[in-house]
Amino acid sequence: MIFSAKLGTIPESISHDSAEEKLFSKASDMVLSRAFRELGLKSAVLHERGDSADVTAESRIHGYTFVADSKAFRLSRTAKNQKDFKISALSSWRKDNDYAVLCSPYFQYPAKSSQIYAQALSSNVCLFSWEHLIFMLDNHVRETAELNFSEIWNFSSNFSHKVLVSDMKRNFMLDFSSFLAEFLNIDAEIFNASLKEQISCLINRSRIEKDFWIDKIKIIKNYSREQAVNELINSLKINEKLNQINTYIRSISQ
């Protein structure tokens, strides 16, 4: 299975909230589900959208179940907040399932501290990543009767008992990564090497994304005055705002 952390990176050429972005998100769900199956689990993508998780999974051997949500971000995305990760929503989507798992790009998690870490610990949401999946798949890890992955998905609950209240918002991804390597009985340096390889992939990917915007600058510089004005009006969505105001006034004037 060809797999890369680049999957967690939305191309800059895909417009925000576009049909292409929705297709990219759906593809991410499908790959996440396939990856869980490669780990020896049953998994499926949910067709319903909205108030539900993207993916479900079940242990063929141990019988536990969990819901999962896949995340991808553009490299140009500015500071992210807790709403971007939807920890509380993912916890509520668990319903009758045993665990809830978020799969996000490793380096897109807040670097130092964030409310999402406290939320994950208090609601027992596993903060997983595409890079952790790559590490497991590259090392041919599969769940067995002796290797019960529930310890992975339940990490936040177990780790919460070791964390001081004052440290609840601290980034614990290093702790999770160390635990994962030890749990799988794989040298932690192998995980570190895997991370470095993914960093190289992202650096190469960044060149493509930067070239997209550099080319865009060249195109814009060749705009006529009229093209530039229209582009600015469209980017500010001024006509949409005017239409919305008119719609609102009409609704209260009837």
In this predicted model, what pLDDT tens digit does every residue of 81-111 receive, in sequence order?
778 899 999 999 999 999 999 999 999 999 8
Q: How many residues does the chain have?
A: 254
> Taking residues 149-177, what's their average pLDDT?
96
For the chain, give the percent of residues with pLDDT over 70: 96
Assign 5 a pLDDT band (cuts: 50, 70, 90). low
Per-residue model confidence (pLDDT) at position 226 = 95
219 vs 52: which has the higher pLDDT: 219
Mean pLDDT, the chain, as a whole number? 92
Q: What is the DSSP letter of 15?
A: P
pTM: 0.88
Mean pLDDT of all residues in 9-38: 92
Q: Check residue 1 and give its pLDDT.
A: 46
Q: pLDDT confidence of 166, banded at 50, 70, 90?
A: very high
The answer to whether the beta carbons of residues 64 and 33 sit under 8 Å apart is no
User: What are phi and psi for residue 210, nearest 5 degrees?
Assistant: -65, -40
